[in-house]
Structure 1
Amino acid sequence: MTTANDGTLSLQQFLPYRLSALANRISQSLAIKYSKQYGISVQEWRILAVLGEGTKLSAVAITNRIAMDKVAVSRAVKRLIEKGLVIKHLDSKDQRSHELALSNEGIEMYQQLVPIALEHEQQVTDNLTLKEQQSLLKLLSKLDNAPL
């Protein structure tokens, strides 16, 4: 699927490249929508989104959940704390660790950002039928669960 007859790699047919390029393009176009109005980055949005699910998480758990670089998560968390959108609590189970959660302001922002994100997702998937959307999610889950 990814090699030409001469043994070279066709980047446009190489799945890891296509998935990465598409994800970056979608994320960047969404970031444009909320960065001007809300002043947050893609990394900050992803952290708000995962914390918006209502769970308190450590920075390590966030890093694992959103598959983002540890340093990028750390910097984004620091900015979100400085902006008053995230609060840090000492973990009740492990006194050496901290749990992160949305502040009241963070919850408010999250609630304002969700409709923007959902509308953006709809725009991205508008040219797919409902069956194609369901198939896409199923295929992505299969790829996500594949041994690497």
Structure 2
Amino acid sequence: MPGSKTRLRHFLPYRLAVTSNAISGMIAGEYRNEFGLKIPEWRVMAVLGDAGPLTQRDLVRATLMDKVAVNRACKVLDERELIRRSPNESDGRSHHLELTPAGVELHGKIWPQAVGAYERIFAALSPRETERLAVLLDKLFARVEALEEGEG
């Protein structure tokens, strides 16, 4: 409605999204120029570095990025020889993706920078507030999952 006052700034889902994007953008700035990775590419590398080999479907679930973004990120990482594909023995239609030695090395260089940026950002909160925020985010995420499964 033209002329009406927006309450968007009070709408928590919007504020969560904007804050998340701001935090991701700041952390991405730490590695984008130096390592030439965009947020989706780093997100895929971070998950593979943490979880080990996964299929693209697993990456979609783990990152909550859409299939196209995951596919694009994997293509770039594969072309840069930062990830490799191996056959998925339990499903011949998919492959496992994992970091190559070069990917592991790059992950090892970026991760400390990401942690450093995280620490600088979260210095605004006390350790207790940070812990409480983590608990609240877990509760919200679990609720979304339950509602999507029709349990709510």
Q: Normalising to structure 2: TM-score of the pair?
A: 0.89
Unaligned runs of 5+ in 2: 148-152
Partner of 1:117: 114
1:108 pairs with 101, 105, 108, which one?
Answer: 105
Partner of 1:56: 53
Partner of 2:17: 20
| Deviation digits for residues 52-87 of structure 1 (CA, Å, limit 9, x no counterpart) | 014210111101111001101100000000000000
Instruction: Read off the aligned partner of 2:17 and give its amino acid letter.
Output: S
Matched, 1:75 2:72: yes
- C-alpha spacing 1:54/1:61, structure 2 compared with 1 (3 Å): closer
| Deviation digits for residues 78-104 of structure 1 (CA, Å, limit 9, x no counterpart) | 000000000011101111111100000
| Deviation digits for residues 18-77 of structure 1 (CA, Å, limit 9, x no counterpart) | 010011111111111101000000000000000001421011110111100110110000
Looking at secondary structure, tell me which structure has more helix per residue: 2
Q: Normalising to structure 1: TM-score of the pair?
A: 0.92
Sequence identity (%) = 36
CA distance in 2, matches of 1:58, 1:12: 38
Instruction: Read off the aligned partner of 2:104 and give its amino acid letter.
Output: I
Partner of 1:135: 132
CA distance in 2, matches of 1:120, 1:28: 11
CA distance in 2, matches of 1:61, 1:54: 10
Q: CA RMSD in A?
A: 1.4
Give the number of the structure with larger relative contact order, counting CA–CA contacts within 8 Å between residues 6 or more apart: 2
CA distance in 2, matches of 1:98, 1:42: 23
Unaligned runs of 5+ in 1: 1-6
Aligned length: 142
CA distance in 1, matches of 2:45, 2:60: 13
Secondary structure, counterpart of 2:50 in structure 1? coil
Query: 1:131 deviation in Å?
Result: 0.5
